[in-house]
Chain A
Amino acid sequence: MKKILALTLALILTFALASTALADFPEKEVTIVVPFKAGGNVDLCCRIIADELTKILGQQVIVDDRPGGGAIIGQTYALSQPADGYTMLALTSSFVTNILSGDTEFGMEDATAIGQFCFDPEIVVVGADTGITTIDEFMAAAKAESLTNSTPGFSTSHHIASLIMTEKFGLTPFAYMHTDGSAEQVVQLAGGHAQVGLTTYGGAATLIAEGKIVPLAVCNTERHEALPDVPTMAECGYDFTYGAYRGFAVPAGTPEEVVNKLSAALKEAMESEAVIKAFNDSGFPIMYLDAAAYQTMLDDDFAGMSAIYYLLDEE
């Protein structure tokens, strides 16, 4: 009896809170849960955006880093918060791969997209002392023998991109050297300890500028702004697009008005001068997608990844 009473009270309270929340969201601070370490790429992006969102929403937007468990800990935490829009999850490609790994309690249906703010395409890079200078030379070398491929970690988007590339172009499977993070990954290439890697621009910028690692092609439909001389895979005759995407999501069941408000605020933030400048300076390519487009992209990615996930299990 007591339980039922408590439950009813809780429900009434929830509805009461929910209806006021709808009236003029947000009434208190909004938290962005980052399931990665402070100081990483996702954390940096979120902190830049949080500053701007604070101005737009008129409430403090704070970043809460909850790293560990391959991002599962932070993702689980954020998605188990009340669906009221006051907790957002910084959602990256790892969300999809984590679900496919079967380790998560949540599924695709548990998150509602707010929007995407960044798409960081994979760039195929080789160490300077490999002597490889074009993507064609690389493909020939990678077909002939097994090259050592350094990644920032097992089952990261960079590792998966390499697996898909191997499958698609019939390369000899790489010998994978899984390091801890993109900084270590590119050092292995620059020092000649590994030969090839798929990485995003930010972490490799300096070593590319110094000529210690050589970018061969960008896995995107258009060239990278910071690397105007590097061709896209498509230009060289290889149909291959892959990259790390970053966006926000809220727990499923969040009222539509709140989702729309957050989505609009994100759009405004991504068009603001401060964010554009900070993103450019940090080497994060801005690519805004609204809630519907991001949701479609996520569902497509899930479908695509489900089809090739067996590659990871074979490793």
Chain B
Amino acid sequence: MAIRERLSGNEAVAYAIKQVNPDVMPAFPITPSTEIPQLVANYIANGEIDTEFIPVESEHSAMSATIGASAAGARALTATSSCGMALMWELLYVAASNRLPLALTLVNRALSGPININCDHSDSMGARDAGWIQIYAENNQEVYDNFIQAYRISEHKDVHLPIMICQDGFITSHALANIELLEDDKVKNFVGEYQPENYLLNEQETMALGPYAVSNYYMETKKAQVEAMKNAKQVILDVGKEFGEMSGRSYGFFEEYKLSDADYAVVIIGSAAGTTKDAIDELREKGIKAGLLKLRVFRPFPAEEIAAALKNCKAIGIMDRSEGFNGQAGPLTAEISAALFRAKSQAKVVSYIYGLGGRDYRVEDALEVFDELKEAANGKEVEQFRYIGLRSR
């Protein structure tokens, strides 16, 4: 029997960590992810888990030590947000190219400046080219479920890539909501024991990690990483299906909400999906065919699948919670536009920037977007890249 609880997103992911019982967790506090290492440290202090916590002196050292622990043969993870992840930047690439299946529970927060502690996706979107798997959650239930699936994906022999489990700062991480937790033994059986293939402490064979590679070899390592990322697609689907069989909650690359017959669609990542669903319900009552694609997996990027799901839409609003500063689209829009172009889509595409630094995203904002999409579909020229929710003065 599933356990009914009320937890915040941070509490939910910490509870998932407790159930997975990984070996090593180095971490450094940063709002709004601080509670995660605090809760893990408490589990350790009370003898509830075996995990070794390393209270490092910076996020740079957090990722460095996580890499060291993972390379040594341990199941390792860390938690961070925003500037903390920016300080890890170089090591994100090292973790991925060394093919270490470690995990990062990221609580998305605006990346300076000005300094701001609230939600947007500028931290993880900036790291989109680092070679990590990125999985996003709409709410506490999803971030819990995603973390339980994390190591099954990252440690898979066809993948061997680090994985980022993302949730929205404060909105998800701090708000209490109902949640259904799995029993410990179910989680344990689902995740399984970690059996690394190559690791520093392998008594049968030594290993050297982190070479200097000249031009003769470097490019092949990148090709191998992208092949692993492509392999991750099937693994994510398989693991999401198996998780569904156990829990009743299946996962794929994205969730479609009233999308199959939609003329106007919004694509969004994270907690703002719920608000958008409310707007869609209102519009549907009026007979307007509005729908939503809520993206869960951003890396690997399910380009063909997204294009196929949107193929009947007349106008698509793509919502970015981070800037790319190219002056024409946010990063999510740019990638989806490329996917639509390859699929020879004729849909009108509008790029919206919303919710930066924790700016509210309201049902009215979503309604405004759908209004505009409707006009665009009817042939009206609309601005193709714009901000919503800006102050009027």
Q: State whether these chains interact.
A: no
Interface residues, chain B, with chain A CB atoms under 8 Å away? none
Binding site for B on A (CB under 8 A): none
